[in-house]
Amino acid sequence: MIQYIKNEFYKIRHEKFMVYITMLSLVPFMMNGINFYINDDNLSLKNGLYFRLYNQYLMLLPIITSVIAASLFYMEYTNRTLLAWLSYDKNKFKLFNSKVLAFLLISLQLMLVNLFIIIIFYAFNNAGLLTLGRISLSFISLNIFIIVSVGAFTLFIINMTKNIIISFTAGIVFTIISMILIAAPFSYLLPATLGYRIGHLLLDSSFYYDKPLIHTLTGFLITVITTLSLYFLAYKKFKIHE
Amino acid sequence: MIDIQKLSVSYKKQQTLKDLTYNFKAGQIYGLLGPNGSGKTTLFKAILNLVPYSGSVTTLKKSTIGHLIEYPGFYANLTCQENLSLHASYINLFDLDFSHMFNKFNLSEEKEKKFKNLSLGMKQRLGLIRAMMNNPDIILLDEPTNGLDPIGIKDMREIITREIKSAERTAVISSHMLHELTAFADTLILIKDGVLIGHLFNSRDPYGLVSVNFIEKTDTEFKKQFQHPVNILKTDIDFKIYGNYEELSAFYSNCERHSLESLYVTVMNLNIQGMKLL
């Protein structure tokens, strides 16, 4: 399995989408970093630099996630390598999972790079350990929920349609829906907005659901069920057609 | 080497292979002949366990399979060398020196080129290197000359003859062109609409026998249709056409005069007619 995952990284070594995606993930920090020095030096977690960053990542992360997940599978379809690749192991699930794990590793890598830059920036501007901890937990919460839920959704879309444009569009639609419903009292029903609200709770404890425990647990359950369902449906659609 | 029993494959309620039974022996080269959509590629996919099927496909334990099916699929942005290294790692071959293989398949100058910059002929040859890399016991080639220009076809024929025909392995090469396969194959297997409808033994002895099975038509009608002095024997269940290469070739030419424009189409037509007779 480790060799299979290594091979996934080998396949994308010359792929430009990885460079673009890495640069795109850094755009929010670059924009807000510039804004910090020329316009607004408010570092408050509630309404300062990190709060703006946090909201912008909610917009960008579903797109970035869908591009990574879709591209890893699409390369097998567009290069017509699927047949040769699937013949390497009788255990198709193992090959499928090697790609899924590669996607998770790339996404987590991007998350850690961005988090590291934010932490360094805040530490450089005299933030305390508590602040750094709250930033880390909220950022990780937002990322994990979006990576897992949007990732599973994209895996299903790309393996069902074999179409990269539809998969990217699905990522954008996901973003728009998340942004519209971000403040809705029922937003716990959507994994991405639940992740946002959990992360946001660490920035501003006055803004959360009416019934915190029930709504959070319900949201968790829905997230787990939908993610696992989409993951298995994606695997079912992942096959060679006659 | 490959024992196939009652193999059936269905896709969207349509059977693409129907109760196919055949035993591919070791050391033989088989030509799989049939029109487009007859089930040749599906048979390869079933042997590789890439499509769900009923029946059984049995190969010898630990036998290795190399294949080039449908299209030489490689990663467009990796070089030839990188693509082969990647393939090698999947089959647990590490630190291989591919130089001699690039030389053998006339690709030495292209090894650092990205796959997307190769011609189709070069891509096919790279696909053959991949199929042959671990010196497999079984090799499956699906229309390896498809889409190539005449020079590419000639190159590919030479490589296949040199690298596969000489080796002691089971090879199955598909084509819808009979003359392509007679150059390589010991046995021709005829397939149409997913049904194995007969086989033709190619002894390579100029005086050896070649037989094609046709069923349910009177010998008189058949002779009238083709008007050729090959030996046609009617048995209880079929016709057998006997002849050496020259006779069979003349037979095909005669078929051409009786029906379509090119030898290729005529030969296919002959086969299709033969199949229809079934």
Q: Which value does ipTM take for this structure?
A: 0.77
Q: Which of A3, A80, A87 lies at the smallest CB-CB distance from B89? A: A3
For residue A48, the SS3 value is coil
Each residue's pLDDT tens digit, A105-157: 999 999 999 999 999 998 888 878 888 998 999 999 999 999 999 999 999 99
Specify whether domain B204-269 bears CATH 1.10.3470. no
Q: Which residue has the higher pLDDT, B201 or A11?
A: A11
> Are A90 and B75 an interchain contact pair (Cβ–Cβ within 8 Å)?
no
Domain containing A60 equals 2-237
> Are A80 and B67 an interchain contact pair (Cβ–Cβ within 8 Å)?
no
> Are B50 and A86 an interchain contact pair (Cβ–Cβ within 8 Å)?
yes
Residue ranges in chain A assigned as alpha helix (H): 2-11, 16-38, 49-78, 82-86, 92-124, 129-161, 164-181, 191-201, 212-237
Residue A126 pLDDT: 81
Evaluate whether residue A242 is within a structural domain. no
Evaluate whether residue A27 is within a structural domain. yes
Please state, for a pLDDT cut of 70, what percent of chain A lies above it. 99
pTM of the model: 0.76
Specify whether domain B2-63+137-182 bears CATH 3.40.50.300. yes
Q: At what angle do helices A212-237 and A129-161 cross, to 10 degrees?
A: 40
State the smallest CA–CA distance between residue A33 and chain B in angstroms. Answer: 35
Residues in chain A closer than 8 A to B77 (CB atoms):
14-15
Q: Where in chain B is the domain with CATH 3.40.50.300?
A: 2-63+137-182
Residues in chain B closer than 8 A to A10 (CB atoms):
78, 82, 86, 89
Domain count, chain A: 1
Residues of chain B with confidence (pLDDT) below 50: 203-219, 226-229, 234-239, 258-278
Residue A137: alpha-carbon gap to chain centroid: 15
Q: Where in chain B is the domain with CATH 3.30.70?
A: 204-269
**Which range among A44-58, A81-95, A222-236 has the greatest average pLDDT?**
A222-236
For residue B44, the SS3 value is helix
Residue B166 pLDDT: 58
Residue B72 pLDDT: 86
Residue A24: half-sphere exposure toward Cβ, Cα within 13 Å? 16
Evaluate whether residue A114 is within a structural domain. yes
Each residue's pLDDT tens digit, B102-145: 888 878 888 888 998 888 878 888 888 888 888 888 889 888 87
- Mean pLDDT score across all residues of chain A: 87
Question: Any chain A CB within 8 A of the CB of B93?
Answer: no
> Are A86 and B86 an interchain contact pair (Cβ–Cβ within 8 Å)?
no
Q: Which of A15, A83, A84 lies at the smallest CB-CB distance from B77? A: A15
